[in-house]
């Protein structure tokens, strides 16, 4: 089978947008999909099209070309009477298949259809052939139907009824026929061995806890503004680290917390439509989150499961995975396989939901899952999960001979562990599964059952969730500004509101969460649009202990502080000039010479003041001054007030202009300006390149003084590299040297100058001669093509002075020409 493009589930937004009430949607099967199959016509070959046309319109249609055959089928499919005629003629097993589709909303993944068809007894394996040449095939009704009444969905092509395999593609039922079918009833689950007794240690997360964490992640994402995403839209590592540090989610049993759980919530928020992640950047719309948290608990949880089913880049027991895989060294479970596995697992849990809520032993459940779903539904290769419970049969896998048991044992070690992580880590974290344990360490035996919420989500439409009684007063506000929230009595929407105004303290989870009212939390609430009255009203209404007076006083003080300081951005300001402000200018007057204009007035002023100076903040500034190396600065006539204000902060006025000096920069530094800021201002307004030494001076004046040496040194220069090497190795010379400036200068100890002269004489050097320096006008020795490339560059390597000097000739010495003395030619 060729690999078709990855399945894109269009059902979620369509389904949710159908206008059904939240309560009605909560009664929908969690796997329901109304994905259409009409588009599948484009995948039909000519033979299939003709067969379908003959079925729908009569024998003569078989001779039609493909396009006309399809058109004929489409016309007939819209004919209600024809649909009813066809439906009535269908055999019972094909009607039963349609009933399955009706139960699931009209569309099914192939793997789930296989499970349903087998469990409901609609398919059977048939052996044929002679002894020694036996074959297996499946007799099943779906294959016959798919050419006529079940339509291919865009996605994978997996059909096979031969070779002992039963594999279906992803299909959708024709709407007109589907409407005539009755929905199939639910299936129950039969464990081949129940858990012996209720476990000693249990763990359950309530829906409010989950909603609280989801809300926390949403708020922290909003505080980030926007963030970098990887290809595919998952959080970039830096953003994930920031989120983890800010959200501080905690959990009772760390070993069973889903890996990178912040990303799990992030992907759920994406699935809900709250997070948009395109082109490398992500952002969040909190109104979507708020709306979601206002839904009934069962609907919220159903949407979490739906989002989890779709999320490709967070995988159970693994965490965040990249969008691209590596065929030779896979870094993730193939998303299409993961999607199918999740749906198959959910299909099994839907059956569990219909069975009275006993505890299910984990290993037993996994074995039953394999038996119920077959070889293909949950089938991928991966090893190494965040939670690795001991599964006895998997550990003994090598003991089994080739056959079903060995296959099961190996499956338990890989796919089974995935299913364990998905059920007892992911779904438990989402409050749908209650986890139990007996024993510890390698002897721990795990079990689980669905929570009441989980039974409602997986048991829909037959089972409903009874919302627990919520008390209006679910808080206690304490005099120390802490707020205790009793989660079992609270609605998620109310917890969301509380989270807006108070900081949640890290906890290990549980029925009571502690929040704290702080100046920052009040500030954030006010910035988000709440008023002080909203906050007081909420706390007073929901607090069992009322609002302590000191807490009320603190809140009033904090709110007042916010009102006393306002940062306004994006303004248009008109500066009057010497002519003063015209009375026709509309806006808020500030002082005697400025007006804050509204946006409209600002645009009008823009047109009216074309002759005046216009300063567009955020765009390039005009160059209006020239500064020299000594800090002297000339300002152009057209310099604006921003340039003037900046100049006033960093320079002193002199007789005929300005000057940047050590005192002016030191003062600016005391007032908080850094050397980088001063440099930035200079760059913005300077009309010519800034002298480099002035920048050095500014850094020095601003407090980052550098050291420099200027003084007398006794120096020895020897230009022959071998001679330099010899001097460095000579014990007699080394005792006289204070240092070496590569490649050919030595610093002599001042008090040993006479001894050096004697040593130079003794070793045959001519002490008369010239020294060689780099030419400053060419920028240094490296720029001199004739200069030896071995020269190094040091601060002290260049002596500032004039051209090489002729030392005075000693009495009796011959006049030296080039090539004599210290410097050989």
- What does the binding site for other proteins look like in residue numbers (CB under 8 A)? 519-520, 522-523, 526-527, 558, 561-579, 590-594, 596, 599, 602, 605-606, 609, 612-618, 621, 640-642, 644-646, 648-649, 651-653, 663-664, 667, 670-674, 677
Minimum CB distance to other proteins smaller for 191 or for 575: 575
Instruction: Please state, in angstroms and rounded to a whole number, the distance separating the CA atoms of residues 365 and 371.
Output: 10
Taking the complex as a whole, how short is the minimal distance between the CB of residue 420 and other proteins, in angstroms? 45
Minimum CB distance to other proteins smaller for 2 or for 533: 533
Q: Say if residues 295 and 22 touch (Cβ distance below 8 Å).
A: yes
Taking the complex as a whole, how short is the minimal distance between the CB of residue 772 and other proteins, in angstroms? 48
Q: In 78-141, where does DSSP find H-type helix?
A: 80-89, 92-103, 110-119
Which two structure tokens, joined as six digits, stand for 322? 């990249």
Minimum CB distance to other proteins smaller for 596 or for 690: 596
Minimum CB distance to other proteins smaller for 592 or for 656: 592
Question: Considering only CA atoms, which of 204, 209, 293, 203 is closest in space to residue 513?
Answer: 209
Taking the complex as a whole, how short is the minimal distance between the CB of residue 604 and other proteins, in angstroms? 11
Taking the complex as a whole, how short is the minimal distance between the CB of residue 690 and other proteins, in angstroms? 19
Taking the complex as a whole, how short is the minimal distance between the CB of residue 543 and other proteins, in angstroms? 24
Q: Say if residues 773 and 804 touch (Cβ distance below 8 Å).
A: yes
CA 791 to chain centre: 51
Taking the complex as a whole, how short is the minimal distance between the CB of residue 480 and other proteins, in angstroms? 20
Which two structure tokens, joined as six digits, stand for 428? 């438990």
Minimum CB distance to other proteins smaller for 326 or for 564: 564
Q: In 294-430, where does DSSP find H-type helix?
A: 297-310, 335-353, 362-377, 392-395, 404-411, 417-421, 428-429
Taking the complex as a whole, how short is the minimal distance between the CB of residue 250 and other proteins, in angstroms? 26
Phi, psi of 187, rounded to the nearest 5 degrees: -105, 150
Q: Are strands 319-320 and 281-284 parallel, antiparallel or unpaired?
A: unpaired
Minimum CB distance to other proteins smaller for 151 or for 501: 501
Cβ-based neighbours of 539, under 8 Å, separated by 6 or more: 475, 477, 483, 501, 547
Taking the complex as a whole, how short is the minimal distance between the CB of residue 172 and other proteins, in angstroms? 47
Taking the complex as a whole, how short is the minimal distance between the CB of residue 598 and other proteins, in angstroms? 8
Question: Considering only CA atoms, which of 60, 39, 21 is closest in space to residue 151?
Answer: 39
Question: Considering only CA atoms, which of 552, 548, 555, 483 is closest in space to residue 519?
Answer: 555
Taking the complex as a whole, how short is the minimal distance between the CB of residue 74 and other proteins, in angstroms? 50
Minimum CB distance to other proteins smaller for 637 or for 707: 637
Minimum CB distance to other proteins smaller for 68 or for 674: 674
Phi, psi of 780, rounded to the nearest 5 degrees: 130, 165
Taking the complex as a whole, how short is the minimal distance between the CB of residue 535 and other proteins, in angstroms? 14
Instruction: Please state, in angstroms and rounded to a whole number, the distance separating the CA atoms of residues 608 and 617.
Output: 19
Minimum CB distance to other proteins smaller for 403 or for 618: 618
Taking the complex as a whole, how short is the minimal distance between the CB of residue 540 and other proteins, in angstroms? 22
Question: How does DSSP classify residue 399?
Answer: G
Region of residue 141 (left: phi > 0; alpha: psi -120 to 50; beta: else): alpha
Q: Are strands 625-627 and 632-635 parallel, antiparallel or unpaired?
A: antiparallel
Q: Say if residues 307 and 314 touch (Cβ distance below 8 Å).
A: no
Cβ-based neighbours of 308, under 8 Å, separated by 6 or more: 264, 267, 268, 271, 342, 426, 430
Taking the complex as a whole, how short is the minimal distance between the CB of residue 702 and other proteins, in angstroms? 12
126: β partners? 137
140, 161, 196, 614 from 97: Cα distances, Å: 10, 16, 37, 74
Taking the complex as a whole, how short is the minimal distance between the CB of residue 822 and other proteins, in angstroms? 53
Minimum CB distance to other proteins smaller for 448 or for 625: 625
Minimum CB distance to other proteins smaller for 425 or for 559: 559
Minimum CB distance to other proteins smaller for 402 or for 616: 616
Taking the complex as a whole, how short is the minimal distance between the CB of residue 566 and other proteins, in angstroms? 5
Phi, psi of 820, rounded to the nearest 5 degrees: -105, 165
Instruction: Please state, in angstroms and rounded to a whole number, the distance separating the CA atoms of residues 748 and 739.
Output: 7
Instruction: Please state, in angstroms and rounded to a whole number, the distance separating the CA atoms of residues 453 and 205.
Output: 10
Minimum CB distance to other proteins smaller for 328 or for 616: 616
H/E element holding 676? helix 675-685
Question: Considering only CA atoms, which of 33, 13, 169, 179 is closest in space to residue 104?
Answer: 33
Taking the complex as a whole, how short is the minimal distance between the CB of residue 685 and other proteins, in angstroms? 12
Minimum CB distance to other proteins smaller for 331 or for 615: 615
Minimum CB distance to other proteins smaller for 635 or for 760: 635
Taking the complex as a whole, how short is the minimal distance between the CB of residue 153 and other proteins, in angstroms? 45
Within 10 angstroms of residue 721's Cβ, the number of other Cβ atoms is 13
Q: Say if residues 725 and 697 touch (Cβ distance below 8 Å).
A: no
Minimum CB distance to other proteins smaller for 398 or for 656: 656
35, 611, 697, 730, 770 from 727: Cα distances, Å: 88, 74, 39, 5, 19
Q: Calculate the dihedral angle through the C-alpha atoms of 52, 53, 55, 61, rounding to the nearest 10 degrees.
A: -140
25, 38, 168, 373, 413 from 162: Cα distances, Å: 39, 27, 12, 18, 28
CA 422 to chain centre: 21
Is the peptide bond between 743 and the residue preceding it cis, with omega within 30 degrees of 0? Answer: yes
Which two structure tokens, joined as six digits, stand for 482? 């802490």
Minimum CB distance to other proteins smaller for 89 or for 569: 569
Give the chain's length: 825
Taking the complex as a whole, how short is the minimal distance between the CB of residue 666 and other proteins, in angstroms? 11
Minimum CB distance to other proteins smaller for 632 or for 674: 674
């Amino acid at each position: 089978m060729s690999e078709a493009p990855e399945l894109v589930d269009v059902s979620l937004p369509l389904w949710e947008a159908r206008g059904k009430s939240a309560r009605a949607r909560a009664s929908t099967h969690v796997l329901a999909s109304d994905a259409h199959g009409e588009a599948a016509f484009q995948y039909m070959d000519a033979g299939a099209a003709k067969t379908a046309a003959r079925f729908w319109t009569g024998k003569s249609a078989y001779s039609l070309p493909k396009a006309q055959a399809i058109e004929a089928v489409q016309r007939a499919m819209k004919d209600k009477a024809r649909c009813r005629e066809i439906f009535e003629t269908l055999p019972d097993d094909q009607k039963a298949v349609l009933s399955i589709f009706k139960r699931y909303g009209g569309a099914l993944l192939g793997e789930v259809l296989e499970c349903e068809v087998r469990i409901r007894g609609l398919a059977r394996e048939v052996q044929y052939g002679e002894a020694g040449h036996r074959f297996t095939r499946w007799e099943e009704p779906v294959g016959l139907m798919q050419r006529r009444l079940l339509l291919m969905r865009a996605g994978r092509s997996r059909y096979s009824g031969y070779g002992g395999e039963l594999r279906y593609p992803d299909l959708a039922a024709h709407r007109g026929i589907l409407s005539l079918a009755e929905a199939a009833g639910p299936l129950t689950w039969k464990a081949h061995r129940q858990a012996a007794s209720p476990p000693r240690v249990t763990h359950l997360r309530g829906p409010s806890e989950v909603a609280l964490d989801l809300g926390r992640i949403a708020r922290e994402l909003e505080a980030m503004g926007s963030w970098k995403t990887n290809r595919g839209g998952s959080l970039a590592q830096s953003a994930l680290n920031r989120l983890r540090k800010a959200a501080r989610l905690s959990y009772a049993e760390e070993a069973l917390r889903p890996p990178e759980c912040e990303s799990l919530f992030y992907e759920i928020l994406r699935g809900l439509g709250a997070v948009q992640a395109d082109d490398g950047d992500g952002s969040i719309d909190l109104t979507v989150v708020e709306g979601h948290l206002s839904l009934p608990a069962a609907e919220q949880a159903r949407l979490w499961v739906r989002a989890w089913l779709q999320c490709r880049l967070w995988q159970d027991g693994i965490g965040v995975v990249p969008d691209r895989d590596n065929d030779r060294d896979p870094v993730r479970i193939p998303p299409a396989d993961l999607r199918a596995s999740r749906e198959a697992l959910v299909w099994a849990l839907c059956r569990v939901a219909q069975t009275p809520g006993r505890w299910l032993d984990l290993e037993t459940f996994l074995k039953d899952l394999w038996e119920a779903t077959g070889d293909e539904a949950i089938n991928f290769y991966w090893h190494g999960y965040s939670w690795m419970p001991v599964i006895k049969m998997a550990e003994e896998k090598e003991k089994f001979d080739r056959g079903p048991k060995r296959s099961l044992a190996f499956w338990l070690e890989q796919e089974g562990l995935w299913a364990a992580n998905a059920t007892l880590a992911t779904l438990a974290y989402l409050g749908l599964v209650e986890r139990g344990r007996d024993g510890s360490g390698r002897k721990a035996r795990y079990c689980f059952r669905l929570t009441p919420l989980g039974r409602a989500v997986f048991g829909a439409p037959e089972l409903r969730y009874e919302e627990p009684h919520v008390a209006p007063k679910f808080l206690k506000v304490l005099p120390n500004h802490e707020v205790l929230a009793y989660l079992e009595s609270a609605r998620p929407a109310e917890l969301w509101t509380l989270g807006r105004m108070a900081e949640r303290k890290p906890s290990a989870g549980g029925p009571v969460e502690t929040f704290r009212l702080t100046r920052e939390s009040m500030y954030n609430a006010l910035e988000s649009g709440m008023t002080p009255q909203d906050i007081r009203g909420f706390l007073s209404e929901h607090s069992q202990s009322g609002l302590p007076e000191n807490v009320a006083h603190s809140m009033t003080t904090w709110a007042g502080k916010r009102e006393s300081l306002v940062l306004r951005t994006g303004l248009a300001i008109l500066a009057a000039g010497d002519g003063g402000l015209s009375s026709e200018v509309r806006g808020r007057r500030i002082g005697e010479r400025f007006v804050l204009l509204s946006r409209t007035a600002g645009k009008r002023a823009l047109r009216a003041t074309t002759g005046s100076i216009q300063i567009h903040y955020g765009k390039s500034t005009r160059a209006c001054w020239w500064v020299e190396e000594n800090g002297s600065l000339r300002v152009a006539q057209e310099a604006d007030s921003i340039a003037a204000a900046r100049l006033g902060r960093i320079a002193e006025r002199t007789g005929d202009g300005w000057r940047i000096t050590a005192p002016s920069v030191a003062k600016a530094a005391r007032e908080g300006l850094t050397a980088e800021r001063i440099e930035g201002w200079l760059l913005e307004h300077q009309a010519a390149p800034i002298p480099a030494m002035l920048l050095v001076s500014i850094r020095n004046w601003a407090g980052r003084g550098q050291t420099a040496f200027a003084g007398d040194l006794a120096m020895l220069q020897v230009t022959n590299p071998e001679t330099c090497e010899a001097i460095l190795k000579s014990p007699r010379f080394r005792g006289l040297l204070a240092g070496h400036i590569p490649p050919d200068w030595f610093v002599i100890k001042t008090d040993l100058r006479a001894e050096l002269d004697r040593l130079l004489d003794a070793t045959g050097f001519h002490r008369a001669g010239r020294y060689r320096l780099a030419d400053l006008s060419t920028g240094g020795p490296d720029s001199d093509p004739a200069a030896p490339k071995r020269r190094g560059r040091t601060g002290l390597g260049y002596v500032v002075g004039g051209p090489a000097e002729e030392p005075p000739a000693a009495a009796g010495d011959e006049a030296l020409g080039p090539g004599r003395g210290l410097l050989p030619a």
